[in-house]
Amino acid sequence: MRKEVWFGLSILIAIVVAIAILMPSPENITNGHLGLLMLALIVVTIMLGFPTAFTLMGMGVMFTYLAYSHLPMQTAIEQTLDLMVLRAYSVMTNDVLIAVPLFIFMGYLVERANLIEKLFKSMHLVLARIPGSLGVATIVTCAVFATA
């Protein structure tokens, strides 16, 4: 293995050992300790190369289950899964998210029709006599498409 890999693994091992040493016993863990533990584990798993989306999802599920661990096991699992479903549903019913695919579609149409280039060239010709016409043309072009 290369030096960089060994160095990265040694740093990760040092972080995990430091977390294990500095964490209090399970009966003395507070919400602040859990937050720091979650942050440290997210950093370690991302540094190990796991995809960020799956890391955040996995940590969320794991720490949600940990939050309900004082309940019986079946109830804790049900509460965790119910919370996952409710959170996913609330994100999907957000009205603002409807704009994202439409914005991407508008950008695709503008790019395919070469509208930005045509508008920029025409604004540059119109504003050619003004000092700093390139900057002014850029700002006007951006303002036109910001209102769309």
Question: How does DSSP assign 101-141, residue by residue?
Answer: HHHHHHHHHHHHHTHHHHHHHHHHHHTTTSTTHHHHHHHHH
Q: What is the mean pLDDT of residues 111-132?
A: 85
Regarding pTM above 0.75, the answer is no
> Look-up: residue for tokens 């604004």?
123
Using the predicted structure, report yes or no on whether residue 82 has a pLDDT greater than 90: yes
| Helix spans in the chain (H) | 3-22, 31-47, 52-67, 73-92, 99-113, 115-126, 133-146
Per-residue pLDDT, 148:
66
Q: What is the mean pLDDT of residues 50-60?
A: 88
